[in-house]
């Protein structure tokens, strides 16, 4: 490929007369083209991108993503009636299918082997259901129901204003940060990682937290306890309206308050 790039040593005699005034810029042009070629060859062989957009109803927008390996990032997008999917396939022979059902639900499914990283923008009120066997899940600024499941990887949920959250991983950490709505149900479970919940200092919730090997740290929350040991806490904060369930077998549980 590099051999095909015009050499900077080309004589000005071979340059057409109309381009003669530009002849002094030829070395710079060659350098620029060379850089482009080098940059392109530095990216992984076989890397492919995938982009699709679906028109959805902002009130009932639904998204499901099933990925084998790779990161899934979902965030509230600028468009309130569109789901925009961008994916990058780094290697392997994975195939990405994105379809929309008659009811408007968008399903993205990866088949075959290989890593695929997704960046998806959805209407803020969308309900999402994400699964990745290996890789992280990052969800930000949504207000709809969130279900996230990873076998091997971390889950990070931030800026949420959702009434229903279920995040689970077998091997990885979970971090949740967001509002606690009065009727909300929040379940964060990791078999062998730590669970962090960053909640408003004045949140109303009843808590069930359990670990087998780790500890439970409640931060600044002054709670009324029904049960309390190093590995099991049941109690409430404020009026105890929302329900928060935190579990880890091998790790620890941390509650943090934010003003």
Residues lying near another protein in the complex (CB under 8 A) are found at 66, 68, 109, 111-113, 131, 133-134, 149, 151-152, 168, 170-171, 189, 191-192, 210, 212, 227, 232, 247, 249-250
Is the Cβ of residue 166 or residue 179 nearer to another protein in the bound state? 166
Beta strands in 1-145 (DSSP E): 48-55, 62-69, 72-76, 82-89, 95-100, 106-111, 116-122, 127-134, 137-140
Contact 143, 159 (CB under 8 A): no
CA-CA distance, 163 to 145, in Å (whole number)? 7
125 or 127: CB nearest another protein = 127
CB of 189: closest distance to another protein in angstroms?
A: 7
Give me the phi and psi of 131, to 5 degrees please. -135, 130
For residues 93 and 219, give the distance between their C-alpha atoms in angstroms, rounded to a whole number. 46
**SS3 state of residue 86:** strand
Radius of gyration of the chain measured on its C-alpha atoms: 25
Q: In the complex with another protein, which residue's Cβ is closer, 76 or 94?
A: 94
Q: Report the residue number, 228 or 258, with the smaller CB distance to another protein.
A: 228
List beta partners, residue 246.
Answer: 188, 209
The residue among 30 and 131 lying less far from another protein, judged by its C-beta, is 131
Q: Which is nearer to another protein, 25 or 212 (CB)?
A: 212
Distance of CA 231 to the CA centre of its chain: 30
Nearest distance in Å: CB 73, another protein: 19
**Minimum CB separation from another protein for residue 201, in Å?**
29
H or E element at residue 148: strand 146-152
Specify burial of residue 104 (Cβ count, 10 A radius: 0-12, 13-18, 19+).
middle
């Amino acid at each position: 490929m590099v051999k095909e790039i015009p050499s900077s040593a080309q004589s000005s005699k071979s340059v057409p007369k109309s381009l003669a005034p530009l002849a002094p810029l030829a070395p710079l042009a060659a350098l620029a083209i060379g850089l482009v070629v080098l940059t392109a060859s530095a990216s992984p062989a076989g890397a492919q991108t995938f982009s699709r957009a679906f028109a959805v109803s902002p009130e009932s927008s639904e998204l499901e993503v099933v990925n084998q390996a790779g990161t899934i990032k979902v965030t509230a997008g600028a468009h309130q009636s569109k789901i925009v999917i961008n994916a990058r396939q780094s290697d392997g022979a994975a195939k990405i299918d994105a379809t929309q059902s008659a009811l408007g639900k968008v399903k993205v499914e990866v088949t075959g082997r290989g890593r695929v990283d997704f960046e998806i923008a959805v209407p803020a009120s969308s309900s999402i259901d994400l699964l990745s066997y290996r890789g992280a899940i990052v969800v930000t600024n949504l207000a709809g129901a969130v279900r996230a499941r990873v076998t091997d990887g971390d889950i990070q949920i931030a800026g949420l204003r959702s009434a229903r959250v279920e995040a689970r991983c077998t091997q990885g950490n979970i971090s949740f940060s967001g509002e606690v709505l009065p009727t909300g149900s929040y379940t964060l479970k990791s078999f062998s990682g730590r669970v962090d919940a960053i909640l408003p200092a004045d949140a109303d919730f009843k808590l069930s937290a359990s670990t087998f090997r780790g500890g439970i740290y409640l931060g600044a929350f002054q709670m009324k306890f029904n049960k309390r040991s190093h590995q099991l806490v049941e109690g409430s904060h404020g009026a105890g309206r929302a329900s928060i369930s935190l579990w880890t077998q091998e790790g620890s549980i941390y509650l943090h308050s934010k003003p």
